[in-house]
Every structure is written in C-alpha cells, then in structure tokens.
Amino acid sequence: MEWETVIGLEIHAQLATKSKIFSGASTAYGAEPNTQACAVDLGLPGVLPVLNAEVVRMATAFGLAVDAEVAPRSVFARKNYFYPDLPKGYQISQYELPIVKTGKLIIALENGEEKEIGITRAHLEEDAGKSLHEDFAGMTGIDLNRAGTPLLEIVSEPDMRSAKEAVAYMKKIHTLVQYLGICDGNMQEGSFRCDANVSVRPRGELALGTRTEIKNLNSFRFIERAIAFEVERQIDLLETGGEVVQETRLYDPDRDETRSMRSKEEANDYRYFPDPDLLPVEISADFIEKVRLELPELPDIKRQRFVTELGLSAYDAGLLTASRALSEYFEAVLAELEGEAKLVANWVSGELSGRLHKEGLEIAQCPVSASDLAGLLARVVDDTISGKIAKEVFAAMWAGEGSADEIIAAKGLKQITDTGALDALIDEIIAANPNQAEQLRAGKDKLLGYFVGQVMKATQGKANPGMVNQLLKQKLLGSGKHEGSS
C-alpha cells in the first residue's frame, strides 16, 4: 500500500517586545533565574493583567502579511492545567476568538513548483516558566523569567505532505516574522519553535489518519528528522496490524527517535473560559490600515523586485531575500555600485555568505561592512584588480587589515594593465617555452591556457587576464588585436 503523509504545524513565535504580554517585567533573555518575574507573572493574588498594546500591533502586522482576516474583536481565555512552571494554574491564551484567522502562505517546493499552505489562525498567548531539571541534584528548579513572555501561536491547516514541505513552510514563516520585526527568530534561545502534527493515510483516502503531535522542535534539522522518524513509525504500526494512538510525543535528537510523552488531551480537558480579568481586544479599521501602511517590503515582493528590477536570477533573488538583514546588506552595497547587481549578488551570496557560514556568524556580525565591500568591488569594476585578487583583498579586509584601497596599495596588488610591461614578459615566456609555442601554432588550442597560466604566475595574478589573452593570441596566433599594442 502507498501511504501519504499529512502534517500541520503549530509554530510559536516569541514576540519581540521589551516587556511581557500582561506585565511590565523585562523579556530580556539570559538573566539570573526569577529576576524578571513580577507579581503578575508569579500569579500572586490581587494582581491584574494589563495587555501590552505592542503585541496587538505585531499580531495585526502578521495577519496582514499572510493575507488573513484580522479580527475586529478577539477574546483572551484561560486554559486551565496544573504544572509547576505555571503558578496561576492557567495559561492566558485565545481560544474561540483568535486575533488572526484564515490566512495563507506560498512555499516553494523542491521541484520548483509553488504550493499554498493555509493558515488556520494565529492567536496571542503567554509563555509558561521553565523547569530546570539539571541544576539541583534530586530536585527541580523553577525559573519564571519566561512566564508571561508574549507568544504568537501560528496554526497551519494540515496541508503539508512531506517533512521537506513542513521545513519549507517553517522557514518561510521564520523569514517573514523577522522581516516584520516581530520576532528575533533565535531558535537556540527558543524564540521560534514548533509542534508538528503528523499522520499518514492510504494514498487516495480523503479522511485524515490519527495524528500524533511532536512537541517543541527548535531546529529545522530536528523537524525534518522527527517527522521522518514519526512517519516511518506510524506506517510500520499500520502495516503490522497496529493502530496509531493520538498522543503527544517528544523527539530525542541523540537517539533520533520520538517517544511517547502523554496521551493527547482534548480541548475540554482544559476548561477554557473567557478571562474575566481582561477586556476583549477591539481593533478598529483605522488601526489596521495604519499597521498596513507601516509594513516593510515583504520577502516575496522583494524577491520579485530583485528579479524584475535588478535582473537577478530567481535563485539569487531567493538566496538574498532569505533574511531581511542579508537583503539589506546587499542593497546597501548596491546603492554604492549602481548597475552592478549581478556582481554584488555573486559576492554577497558567494564569498561573503560562505565566510559567514564557515565562521558561524550572522550578517549583523560581519566584520566587513557593506560600504567596505562596495569599496572593494569598485576596484574590480574599474579594473584596478581582478576578481581573483579581489578575493585575496577580501580575506585581508575580513582579518581587519584595512580598506580595499589600503590593502591593494600595501600589498602591491594593483593589476598590471601596462601593455609595455606585459609585452616584454610575454615575449620572454614564449621564448622560454618553444615546444609549447610550436604545438599551439600547430593547432593545439588548449595550450593557450598554459601560457595564460605562466603569465599569471610570473605576475602573481596581477596581470589583467583579458589583456593577457589578447596579447598571447596576437603574438602566437596572429589574431586578437589589442588597442594600444604595436
């Protein structure tokens, strides 16, 4: 039997506010345990939550960016459950009336086709605290710094059909929330994570199979592996006469497997009811329009513009717009090198991104600024140095040795464009290689490359390659006229 995989994701994006969703405590990451939890976050009696207006703006921006309906009225509800890191005994979330409903997102598939993924809803909620199991022998510590941190939970339709599609969707949302400036996207710190709901069904069957939910995946690699494992596990079960049990599972990256955590709770286990401490959130049409006007250029639109306006390939445009910071770096370099989009794109997505990746750095930590890179590429454009030498200069810039011009001067890397100097050198090289010269003249064209190589070697790569080619052809083959040569 052929099986079809069905996946729906619940993504938790931590909203990048300075203070918590219902209190004035700081959301900064990494503070000493319990130093950023006030009476509201601790759930002390007699305190009242006050909604942080910024989270409403952020959720609205997200809703608009995914073509969703931003609800004029949404309601906070209490989701009741007991857990040590939840001092109130309930989490404030949205249930029946979320702030964002029925949106969509287009993802690119590996075969180059596009696919629309439905977004069921996105709702606001508070995060819980953290249990620390490792710090105290035989005991568990509770850190409530994270309690009350604002989250936007983005729930997809069960529209994905493979682990790769799920990752593509997750990456796309990751890019989007960072463009919008509503989430820092830091997955190691848990600012962006997801629960993956996975089921399988016989291909052609319309009804959905029983799903399991894999909790708290915080890396793209883990999502892909966890889903792959889970799909195999479910198929094995079904093919050997077993049944999939609806449950919550955890992925263990060390063993590369998922394990049962608890049986799935139903919504009615949570005794949801509207939180009497909070008013419904009412959003005016004017407010929505104002947020719409303030939206930045979104990644899909920017990617299109890079293709139509700058003439980049769809592939390059995709690479450069994968992160807002990278696209802005690219645009800053290009602003100083008008008309050189292709050259700048090659450098930013090639040499620069390669180095960043190798050293595990983000673009924000790049030691070569956009204007420094523009300074280097300007010397390629005006033929002061070749593309190859530019890489050497770039490495020196990366190491902090100065600007492109300083390095070119200090290392004597200026390209030799003086025909007279090259002329004599080429004559010498031809004289020193009579056999190769003879064979080349007899038709062994490949040897031209040999001569170019010799000239480059003698000049430490500083000869202008175009000029060398022309001079060699002219001298050895009697063709390839070059202006200024006699």
DSSP H or E segment with residue 250 = strand 247-252
Q: Are 12 and 151 in contact (CB under 8 A)?
A: yes
259 - beta bridge partners? 250
Residue 45, class by beta-carbon neighbours within 10 Å (0-12 exposed, 13-18 middle, 19+ buried)? exposed
Q: Which of 9, 99, 326, 377 binds ligand ADP (CB under 6 A)?
A: 9
Residues 334 and 49: their CA atoms lie apart, in Å, by 48
CB of 23 to ligand ADP, least distance (A): 26
Nearest CA to 352 among 339, 333, 378, 335?
333
Residue in 36, 52, 60, 156 binding ligand ADP, rule: CB under 6 A: 156
Retrieve residue 284's tokens.
């005016």
User: Smallest distance from the beta carbon of 236 to ligand ADP, in angstroms?
Assistant: 17
Can you tell me which of 39, 208, 409, 477 binds ligand ADP, judged by CB under 6 A?
Answer: 208
Q: Which of 56, 270, 249, 41 is nearest to 152 (CA)?
A: 56
- Contact stretch for ligand ADP (CB under 6 A) within 33-41, 93-101, 155-163, 363-371: 155-163
Closer Cβ to ligand ADP, 105 or 312, answer by number: 105
Q: Is 327 in the site for ligand ADP (CB under 6 A)?
A: no
Give me the least distance between CB of 6 and ligand ADP, in Å please. 4
Q: Which is nearer to ligand ADP, 85 or 157 (CB)?
A: 157
* Angle ∠(79,171,14) on CA atoms, nearest 5: 35
**Shortest distance, CB of residue 9 to ligand ADP, whole angstroms?**
6
Can you tell me the distance from the alpha carbon of 79 to that of 151, in angstroms, rounded to the nearest whole number? 15
Judge whether 319 and 353 are in contact, CB under 8 Å.
yes
**Both structure tokens of 448:** 């031209």
Q: Is residue 105 a contact point for ligand ADP (CB under 6 A)?
A: no
Dist. CA 404–CA 485, nearest whole Å: 30
Nearer to ligand ADP, 157 or 331 (CB): 157
Q: Which is nearer to ligand ADP, 161 or 475 (CB)?
A: 161
Q: Does 6 help bind ligand ADP (rule: CB under 6 A)?
A: yes
Least Å distance, CB 207 to ligand ADP, is: 9
Taking the least distance from each CB to ligand ADP, the nearer of 10 and 392 is: 10
CB neighbourhood size of 275 (10 A):
18
Closest-CB residue for ligand ADP?
8
157 binds ligand ADP (CB under 6 A): yes
> Which of 25/194 has CB closer to ligand ADP?
194
Residue 258 sits in the site that holds ligand ADP (CB under 6 A):
no
Q: Minimum Å distance from CB 125 to ligand ADP?
A: 12
Measure Cα distances from 298 to 64, 72, 242, 330 in Å: 11, 24, 46, 16
- CA dist 432 and 56 (Å) reads 77
- Taking contact as CB under 6 A, which single stretch among the options 4-12, 89-97, 145-153, 467-475 is the one that binds ligand ADP? 4-12
Least gap, CB of 213 to ligand ADP (angstroms): 6
Rounded distance, CA 390 to CA 384, Å? 10
Among 211, 249, 302, 303, binds ligand ADP (CB under 6 A): 211
Q: In the complex, what is the shortest distance from the CB of residue 71 to ligand ADP, in angstroms, rounded to a whole number?
A: 17
Output the furthest CA–CA distance in the chain (Å, rounded). Answer: 98
Count of residues that bind ligand ADP according to CB under 6 A: 16
From 85-93, 209-217, 308-316, 434-442, span contacting ligand ADP (CB under 6 A): 209-217
249: Cα within 13 Å, side-chain hemisphere? 28
Nearer to ligand ADP, 90 or 330 (CB): 90
Which region among 1-9, 167-175, 392-400, 429-437 touches ligand ADP (by CB under 6 A)?
A: 1-9
473, 440 in Cβ contact below 8 A?
no
- CA dist 314 and 330 (Å) reads 15
- Candidates 48-56, 154-162, 185-193, 269-277; binding stretch for ligand ADP (CB under 6 A): 154-162
Binding region for ligand ADP (CB under 6 A) out of 8-16, 175-183, 216-224, 282-290: 8-16
Does 155 bind ligand ADP (CB under 6 A)? Our answer is yes
Site string for ligand ADP, 158-197 (x = CB under 6 A): x--------------------------------------x
The residues facing 153 across adjacent strands are 12, 123
What residue type is 412 in one-letter code? G
- Residue 10 in contact with ligand ADP, rule: CB under 6 A: yes
Q: DSSP state, 267?
A: G
DSSP conformation letters of 102-151 = EEEEEEE-TTS-EEEEEEEEEEEEE---EEEEEEETTEEEEE-TTTT-EE
Q: Does 8 bind ligand ADP (CB under 6 A)?
A: yes
Do 321 and 315 meet the contact criterion of CB atoms below 8 Å apart?
no
Residue closer to ligand ADP (CB basis): 218 or 474: 218
Both tokens of residue 165?
């599609």
Per-residue binding letters, 380-399, with ligand ADP (x by CB under 6 A)? --------------------
Residues lying near ligand ADP in the complex (CB under 6 A) = 6-10, 155-158, 197-199, 208-209, 211, 213
